Amino acid sequence: MVQFFLKNQAKASFAYPEVGATNSDQPLPNYINDRNRVLLGKGEAVYLTACDALRQWKMFPGGWAWIEPKGAPQQVGQTLAMVARVVGMHWLNGCRIVYTLDGTGPDRRFGFAYGTLPDHAECGEERFSIEWLADDSVWYDLKAFSQPRHWLTKLFNPVARWYQRRFVQESLRKMKMEVGGLRN
């Protein structure tokens, strides 16, 4: 079933016109704009460990939200299914990698963003990144803009927002756990 879903999503266009907008600091009108960060620690070891965790999709909360295909490469154009178990049902949400961040520059940033496809409960984009700043601090950063797309998401928007906030909090905790003993 997931393979059939992914095959159909591979042909689909993005469900929103502002593709790549999470790479800007400007909030988008008509969307819910979210940005959440957590300090992971300091130094190269923390940065490299966090980048590796991101590459392995370890920022996804286990048990109720994950990516298919498992271990999918984070490369531009990669089509994914974000699977969410909500109220005992599994929801397949189509998305595609929009851009990647290569980790170079004075403030090194590594990560990627994915955008929603027509078969997604929401409409928008989310960026997952690790930042190693000039002060040696290492941050995990989640930036997103979204709006309800599916009629159930529109009808039960407070519940959908609750799940979005839950995802963020669990993702921040998971990344802190991944660097665990390396934090300074």
DSSP three-state, residue 41: strand
DSSP three-state, residue 180: helix
Provide the 10 A C-beta neighbour count for residue 60: 19
Rounded (10°) CA dihedral 27, 107, 165, 119 = 70
CATH architecture of 2-23+37-179: 2-Layer Sandwich (3.30)
pLDDT over 80 at 107, yes or no: no
Provide the 10 A C-beta neighbour count for residue 48: 17
Give the C-alpha separation, 101 to 58, whole Å.
17
How far CA 50 is from CA of 90, 125, 139, in Å, comes to 28, 21, 9
Query: For residue range 50-98, what is the model confidence (pLDDT) as tens digits?
Result: 999 999 999 998 788 889 999 999 999 999 998 888 777 777 888 999 9
Mean pLDDT of the chain: 86
Query: For residue range 16-63, what is the model confidence (pLDDT) as tens digits?
Result: 999 999 998 888 888 889 899 999 999 999 999 999 999 999 999 878
Domain boundaries, given as residue ranges, for the chain: 2-23+37-179
- Strand pairing of 137-148 and 122-132? antiparallel
- Strand pairing of 89-102 and 32-42? unpaired
**Cβ 50 vs Cβ 171: under 8 Å:** no
